[in-house]
Structure 1
Amino acid sequence: MVAPGAQLRGTARLEGDLDDLLKLLPFQLPSEAQWEYAARAGTTTLTFRGDEKPDEDQLLDDFDDETRTAAGENAFGLAAMGSANELCADMWIPGFNGAPADARPRTGDGPRTVRGGAADLYPWQGCDEWLLLLSATRYEHASFAAVRPAVPLPPR
């Protein structure tokens, strides 16, 4: 058992330590614009899968509790984009008004934006819930507790 507030090597409390942790790693969180570009992979259709609205039976099949089908690669060769909630570098601002035109993240104090994922999607909520499958689905992050990078941290 770990005492509350204890700092473990390779683990960061998201709100306070994430920026410091990211400075040590050889990668960065994408801005919302970068995430959207990667998820859509050049598509101009309603969803990255096309313009066709999925029917309720298809949604029920795709999101039943028994099985899940892993998303294949998009045109950029990225697999499962948006399958899980993905943290972005941008701070949460409802809507896109005032977003930088050059894809830089919106910075400031406050929670970060989460893109993708359909954690709030339950097929029995109704057929219009398919809208949550759009790449534009975004959330204010609230439920992440820790980050454990998949790469070794440099020595202290």
Structure 2
Amino acid sequence: MSKDYYKKLGENKKARFNYHIEDSLECGMELKGSEVKSLKSGKFSFGDAYVRITNNQLWLIGLHITPYSFGTIENHEPTRKRKLLAHSREINQLRRKTEERGYTLVPLSIYIKNGLIKIQIGLAKGKKRHDKRAVIKDRDIKRDLARELKK
């Protein structure tokens, strides 16, 4: 049995701060060649990216992939909608949860797995302001504790 090749290209830290992630799903992405080159060189940003389900298909909206610097006039549009590849049964489960319970779909990370670019999307519910404050407070306490232990 061979080991899977895995390289993380980027992570959406803002999503984990703003949302409670209930469940996650790995999807493929339909990309152009210049987009693949830009992603592999790390020239992308999640910004306010989200996933929408339309006509039984997953669409990634708002992900900014910088045009490839060595590309031609045929370079891609930076913020175009990108189709995500998943099984129809998984899409149906996600649709049911987002319609009934008020969840949203957000991209969590982009990585290379066995030579293919994959994206991990999460089924998320928004955090309240007091939840975010608690996260900040815990992070500050851990940082201060690490500083004290270092001395």
Query: TM-score, structure 2 length as denominator?
Result: 0.24
Q: Which has the higher strand share?
A: 2
Larger helix percent: 2
